[in-house]
Chains A and B, each alone.
Chain A
Amino acid sequence: MHIPDGYLGPYTYIALWIIMIPIWYYAGRKLSSELKSRQVPLLALAAAFSFVIMMFNVPIPGGSTGHAVGAAIIGIVLGPWAAVIAISVALVLQALMFGDGGITAIAANCFNMAVVMPFVAYYAYKFISGGTEITSSRRVIAAAIAGYISLVIASAFTGFEFGIQPILHHTAEGVPLYMPYPLSVTVPAMVLEHVFGFGILEALITALIFAYIQRTDTTLLYGEKSAAQKKKKKNASTA
């Protein structure tokens, strides 16, 4: 899902930079006002994990290869705004140092994988979990579904960005200047391989890590009160 340089024309990649700059700014502000010391190692691990998990290319029938992103579990555990920062850092390094994803397309790739994914995952998880106990097994299912649909939706965004290129940029004779394939090819190509392949992998990873945190320390999860805070609240209500 890493769009290289040359596939998106200037209208699209510049538009996505204009969208991403305020998102990064706001995410940075929010992180610096909300981040707790005990979350710092987790934030660092999240970015590192996302970087490495994207190196695990898996083949799917039909000769295509791809990977999970890890963005869903990061969005659920650290919250979507912290996830924006963690995954963006991984994607920028991949583009600059390893040529995975283009320089002009950094904002596009960050939008798809570091914004769409964690936000879709976080809200899907919240919605499916409803008012269930934090230890409920329904939440593991919710995490799995959140992982699955967040990657599929991100792939649809990528397919859409690819597919509008022949409409936006072509010569007078109709020769495409950038991504040559139209929406009718790019969207199904991107979505189907994530529906039948990589989405399942993202779902498994998300559920597995979620279940582990659920069984060890639920206070790590975004929006859950720490034991100390709970105690404080209890004391306040009994006082």
Chain B
Amino acid sequence: MDKIIKNFAIGLALLIILAPLGLLAVGETFGEWGPEEVKEKLGFVPPGLEQLSSLWSAPMPDYALPEQGDSMSTAAMTYILSAVLGVVICGGLLYFVGKKVAKD
């Protein structure tokens, strides 16, 4: 049991290190365009979409620091940092809460 958990943790660490590979995929994702991209497609931005799209300013938009520039190595580093934060926060929260509620 413990060995499996250890191996999964090693696998997860590898995924974190390899995460910047996910940056190599260039292209758009259907339904995840920004307002400017919608404007390019349609010639206008649907008013509700424009209004709601600026509702929230995430501290690390698109797994990067705001205005970090175009450097690929910076992007790779902030991407790894995002993965580490995600793992620590998600894993930490569930571990902590899980330990509190778990039986035996």
Central interface residue in A36, A39, A55, A65, by most chain B CB within 10 Å = A55
Say yes or no: A64 contacts B22, CB within 8 Å.
no
Name the interface residues of B52-70: CB closer than 8 Å to any CB of A.
Answer: 52-53, 55-63
CA distance A171 to B44 in the complex (A): 14
In the complex, what residues of B have CB within 8 A of residue A63's CB? 27-28
Main secondary structure of the interface of B (DSSP, over half): helix
Please, how many residues of chain B have a CB less than 8 angstroms from a CB on the other chain? 64
* B51 touches A (CB below 8 Å): yes
CA distance A169 to B46 in the complex (A): 10
Say yes or no: A37 contacts B102, CB within 8 Å.
yes
In the complex, what residues of A have CB within 8 A of residue B49's CB? 6-7, 177-180
Chain B, residues 91-102, CB within 8 Å of chain A (1/0): the string is 111110011011
Say yes or no: A38 contacts B1, CB within 8 Å.
yes
In the complex, what residues of B have CB within 8 A of residue A45's CB? 5, 8-9, 12, 91
In the complex, what residues of A have CB within 8 A of residue B25's CB? 57-59, 65
Closest Cβ–Cβ distance, residue A136 to chain B (whole Å): 20
Say yes or no: A55 contacts B103, CB within 8 Å.
no
Task: List the interface of chain B (C-beta within 8 A of A).
Answer: 1, 3-5, 7-9, 12, 15-16, 18-19, 21-32, 35, 38, 42, 44, 46-53, 55-63, 79, 82-83, 85-87, 89-95, 98-99, 101-104
Q: List 5 A-B contacts (CB under 8 A).
A: A65-B28, A65-B29, A97-B60, A169-B48, A186-B31
